[in-house]
Structure 1
Amino acid sequence: MSIRDLIPRDKHDLDSVCKLQQHSAVEIAEILPELFEWLQDINWPVSKELTKALPKYGNILIPHIERALRSGDPQWQFSMMQFFIRELPKETSLLVGDTIQRIADTPTQSEILEGIHLLARETLQIIGQKY
């Protein structure tokens, strides 16, 4: 089996997420960009399972979380802050605090329209970083 077989094939491929959990961070590192794409819409069943499975991998996730938060995609930002970052170990979540702070302090027009800046403020409080 190739590590690429752990990338969900469709939004209902929960079996791949179960298999993913049996692998180390080093083993799954190359497929993290594809796994994070599945977090763009939290309504997909596979997304909800990934928000539970991926946080255990800790700091290796930071560049991918940053990419999502800086994407300008309000739905992806929402998924990250409302569901994913809250599942991370505290020390890992604090590593993206500056990016969340930027969204809270100087949001883009899109982030304002979608209320992402308000979610950023709430997320900062949850992870224990002052707003």
Structure 2
Amino acid sequence: MRLPEDKSDLDAVAQLAAAGLPAIAPFLDDLVAWVADGNWPVARPVADLLVSTGRGAISALRPVLRGNDAIHQYFVLTLVVCQLSRDDVAALRADLERLATKPTTDQIREGVSDLAEEILQTFQP
């Protein structure tokens, strides 16, 4: 079992998906990096893999949502967070609220703040 070696390494993603949790738990932080650009061939399969881990992905998603890379945040929100369960999104509520209400200029420009607000509205308790 190995991490993708490049943005087209779909075989590695398939192997990780076949292994499932808990085997891939140590790789979740590294896998989130492959969702940095939704145009990469591995981005959607990796996002689906992260979603399949449910709550397991939360600790890997937080550093991105709390970071400064607005494009990475956009793709994490679009490809992963939007597909999580209501309970899993609730675990990210504070991060989503911050993105929606106190965005940086880059987050506004990349649509991160609007997307965070939309997710909050969709997943209201």
Distance 2:90 2:76 in 1: 14
What residue in structure 1 maps to residue 93 of structure 2?
97
Amino acid at match of 1:121: E
Matched, 1:129 2:124: yes
The answer to whether structure 1 residue 27 and structure 2 residue 23 are counterparts is yes
Of 7, 28, 34 in structure 2, the residue corresponding to residue 11 of structure 1 is 7
Output the TM-score relative to the length of structure 1.
Answer: 0.87
* TM-score using structure 2 length: 0.91
Unaligned runs of 5+ in 2: none
8 Å CA contact retained: 2:77, 2:116? yes
Q: Which runs of 5+ in 1 are unaligned?
A: none
1:40-51 alignment, distance < 5 Å: 40-51=36-47
Output the CA distance in 2 between the equivalents of 1:120 and 1:82.
Answer: 9
Tell me if structure 1 keeps the 8 A contact 2:74–2:110.
no
Per-residue displacement from partner, 1:27-56 (whole Å, max 9, x unpaired)? 112111211111111110101111122211
Deviations 1:100-122 (A, max 9, x none): 01111111222123221111111
State how far apart, in whole Å, the 2-side matches of 1:24 and 1:51 are.
14
* Cα RMSD for the two superposed structures: 1.5
Deviations 1:68-94 (A, max 9, x none): 111110111100111111121221122
